[in-house]
């Protein structure tokens, strides 16, 4: 048991609670003698031990509270970031569609190049915040990350593999924000 008033960062809640429980047991063992037979010194020691156990329990409760508040704060920050990024996903989709359409117009090559640079910059900024784009072409279909919008027979792509990604999916800090909309292979065409 430590006599310091401050806990080291390595000291866990379980250690503090175990120490408090130990002091409570010691106090209970010491106070089994009738109070009338106890000396004033023994009564003071028992009271001090009880106060110490209460203090250790309070310290453990406060540390648990601090940790819980820290986790809740991080969860709130992540949720706020996720909602902002979710509102930007349609903009990313429209930017991609606009760039695909602009590639068919050679006279707009300079403008297309400028928008492509803006698109890359936006994607880079979002990826720094933990956003990951999911384009699962050729991968096995996973209903946890992919939304199958169609099945299509294919002699080149194995059954239950993604043939084409229609709309990219996104994951933010290992949390799925939007599932990728995909076309899944149903294997070779059956006669």
- Tell me how far apart the 2 most distant CA atoms of the chain are, in Å: 103
Tell me which H or E stretch contains 93: helix 40-102
**pLDDT value at residue 35:** 46
The two tokens of residue 189 are 């065409």
According to the model, what pLDDT value does residue 1 have?
Answer: 42
Span 3-46, pLDDT tens digits: 444 444 444 556 666 666 675 566 555 555 444 577 999 999 99
Q: CA of 44: how far to CAs of 9, 39, 66, 111, 181, in Å? A: 32, 9, 32, 85, 72
Q: Three-state DSSP class for 135?
A: coil
Phi (first) and psi of residue 183, to 5 degrees: -105, 125
Tell me: pLDDT of 62 over 60.
yes
Does residue 142 sit in helix, strand or coil? coil
Mean of pLDDT values over 133-152: 92
Match 């709309």 to its residue by tokens: 167
Collapse the DSSP code of 51 into the 3-class scheme (helix H, G, I; strand E, B; otherwise coil) and give the result.
Answer: helix
The alpha carbon of 28 is separated from its chain's Cα centroid by a whole number of angstroms, namely 44
Compute the average pLDDT of residues 111-128: 90
Other Cβ atoms less than 10 A from the Cβ of 146: the count is: 20
Does position 184 have pLDDT exceeding 90, yes or no?
yes
Average pLDDT, the chain: 83
pTM of the prediction? 0.59
- Identify the DSSP state of 141: P
pLDDT confidence of residue 75: 86
pLDDT for 146? 94
Q: What is the DSSP letter of 38?
A: S
89 with 170: CB under 8 angstroms?
yes
Pull the structure tokens for residue 143: 């209903």
Identify the residue whose tokens are 């031990």.
49
What are the tens digits of pLDDT across the range 83-107?
A: 888 899 999 999 988 888 888 888 8
């Amino acid at each position: 048991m430590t006599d310091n008033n401050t806990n080291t960062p390595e000291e866990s809640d379980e250690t503090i609670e175990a120490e408090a429980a130990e002091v409570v047991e010691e106090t209970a063992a010491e106070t089994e003698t009738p109070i009338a037979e106890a000396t004033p010194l023994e009564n003071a020691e028992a009271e001090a031990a009880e106060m110490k156990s209460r203090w250790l329990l309070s310290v453990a409760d406060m540390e648990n509270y601090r940790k819980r508040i820290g986790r809740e704060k991080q969860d709130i920050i992540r949720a706020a970031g996720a909602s902002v990024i979710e509102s930007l996903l349609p903009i990313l989709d429209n930017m991609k569609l606009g760039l695909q359409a602009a590639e068919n117009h050679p006279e707009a090559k300079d403008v297309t190049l400028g928008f492509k640079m803006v698109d890359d910059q936006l994607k880079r900024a979002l990826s720094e915040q933990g956003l990951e784009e999911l384009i699962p072409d050729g991968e096995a279909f996973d209903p946890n990350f992919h939304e199958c919008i169609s099945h299509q027979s294919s002699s080149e792509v194995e059954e239950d593999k993604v043939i084409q990604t229609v709309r990219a999916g996104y994951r933010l800090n290992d949390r799925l924000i939007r599932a990728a909309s995909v076309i899944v292979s149903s294997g070779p065409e059956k006669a």
